[in-house]
Amino acid sequence: MSLLRIAWRNFCYRSLSSVLTTISLALGVALVVLVLAIYGIVSEAFSRNAQVGYNLVVGPKGSALQLTLNSVYYLSQPIENLPFTEYMEFFPADERAAMVRRFGGDPSLGERDGIYSSLIYGGYAIPLALGDYYGEFRVVGTTPDFFELLRHGETLEEPFTFREGRALKSHSEEHGYFEAVLGSQVAKQMGISVGDEFKPTHGDPEGTGHGQGFTVVGILDPTGTPNDRATFVNLEGFYLLENHAKPLTGEETEVEPTENPVDAGGNMPLTIAQREVTSILVRNGQIAMAPILLNMVNESVRAQAAAPVGEISKLMNAVVGPLMTALLIITLITCVVAAVGVLVAIYNSMNDRRRDIAVMRALGARRETVTLVILFESFLIAVIGGVAGWFLAHLAIWAYGGEIEDRTGVQIGLFTTSSYEIYILPLVLLLGQFAGFLPAWFAYRTDVGSNLSA
């Protein structure tokens, strides 16, 4: 009979003690796996969403982290707003002049290149206007460029696709100013479809409702990003809502627009002086220019630039990382305690099996053989407890996978693992061997004569 089989017989013979010890170890392993999985989910949710094609976020002076949280993740509150002219600084003279003709304003704005235009040549700048809610979800005023230029996915090559409808369009006879696109979670939780109308609330979810509604023209496929939990509306429509126009001081140079884009309802876009943006998503045509642009913006009077990847890395290192490390240490201590339980269980059984060991020795078994049987027994408990704990943790994660996906956008499968989990089973086996070492030593030293005569 092999030594492993003898160890298994011993395991089965003391089934109650063995099973309870194994369950104790399995629960410890499950705790460690859950902590690692939660850390992996949090890390992925932040790091994946920090890379959505653009490399800088530009907003008003203040906290770079707050700017990143409210512009990339739609969390926290906006710091302040920037004048629309700050957004125009990212465009060459011909595009700035086109904006003046379309919206009206100071003609001199179109007579020069924007001061940042050469640094993003080949890239893009997309404005965001925040401040309203639809239910609990942020309303984001933006332009059609958001859906045409931004990408997502691991390789940042996947364009936005639509479960229903289409993306926002620029104003024309067919497309008005009050169109909206919903993220997949917004449509799911609010029970709204293409063709329906909704009215956002001002300031916060409990704020005053705007009288003007937006018609849903598209619903995004799930992207696993914060965009799943956002409502996108046409920037021109956002500006036209009550209390969204910047008050004029009377000192502005106002020239009427020459293209006069009035819609069927008589609505006309605000002039440049009445416009503000909350933040600007920027991608340099040449990434090497990003640090230069970041420094230039930060040296300006009104604006600051933040690199989302860097800000999220700081957040993870400063807050989330230490917290998860503390949790991991606690759960590892739990595992050690469980291993001590293995030691105590096997050690306590030694008094019962001294005679058995003496019989084995009398029948010719060597000391090393008896020692290995004890070590194999602790090895079996470690293997069964480790594997059972791993499955238990992943079963729990999988059971709540839908809730996790709804809240973070991270899709979880039964066998979704973090890179740290590969170290767990070897660590548990090592702890099991340490736990079996002391009982094995006593087995090695068992005296045959005295125990046979007892």
Instruction: Provide the pLDDT confidence category of residue 69 given band limits of 50, 70 and 90.
Output: confident
Three-state SS for 314-332 is HHHHHHHHHHHHHHHHHHH
Backbone phi, psi, residue 362, to 5° = -65, -30
**Mean pLDDT score of the chain, rounded to an integer?**
83
Q: 177-231 pLDDT, tens per residue?
A: 899 999 988 998 899 999 999 998 887 777 777 888 899 999 999 887 888 889 9
Instruction: Provide the pLDDT confidence category of residue 428 given band limits of 50, 70 and 90.
Output: confident
Q: Is the pLDDT of residue 88 over 90?
A: yes
The predicted pLDDT at position 226 comes to 83
Q: Which residue has the higher pLDDT, 353 or 287?
A: 287
| Cα gap 419→412, rounded to integer Å | 15
Instruction: Provide the pLDDT confidence category of residue 410 given band limits of 50, 70 and 90.
Output: low
Q: 38-54 pLDDT, tens per residue?
A: 777 777 777 666 666 78
CA distances from 442 to 302, 353, 439 (A): 76, 11, 5
Q: What is the DSSP string of 108-177?
A: GGGGS--TTGGGGTTSEEEEEEEEEEETTEEEEEE-THHHHH--BTTTT-BPP-EEEE-------SSS-S
| Cα gap 288→305, rounded to integer Å | 15
Q: Which residue has the higher pLDDT, 355 or 111?
A: 111
Most confident listed range (82-91, 102-111, 317-326, 423-432): 82-91
Pairing verdict, β 137-142 and 201-202? unpaired
The predicted pLDDT at position 329 comes to 82
Q: Is the pLDDT of residue 452 over 70?
A: no
Q: 285-315 pLDDT, tens per residue?
A: 888 888 899 999 999 988 999 988 888 778 7
The predicted pLDDT at position 50 comes to 60
The predicted pLDDT at position 451 comes to 65
- Lowest-pLDDT range, 102-106, 269-273, 275-279, 327-331? 327-331
For the chain, what is the radius of gyration of the CA atoms? 32
Mean pLDDT of 434-447: 79
Q: Is the pLDDT of residue 66 over 80?
A: yes
The predicted pLDDT at position 242 comes to 85
Instruction: Specify the pTM.
Output: 0.75
Q: Is the pLDDT of residue 34 over 90?
A: no
Q: Is the pLDDT of residue 454 over 60?
A: no
Considering only CA atoms, which of 420, 349, 431 is closest in space to residue 385? Answer: 431
| Cα gap 135→200, rounded to integer Å | 8
Considering only CA atoms, which of 9, 8, 19 is closest in space to residue 342? Answer: 19
The predicted pLDDT at position 260 comes to 63
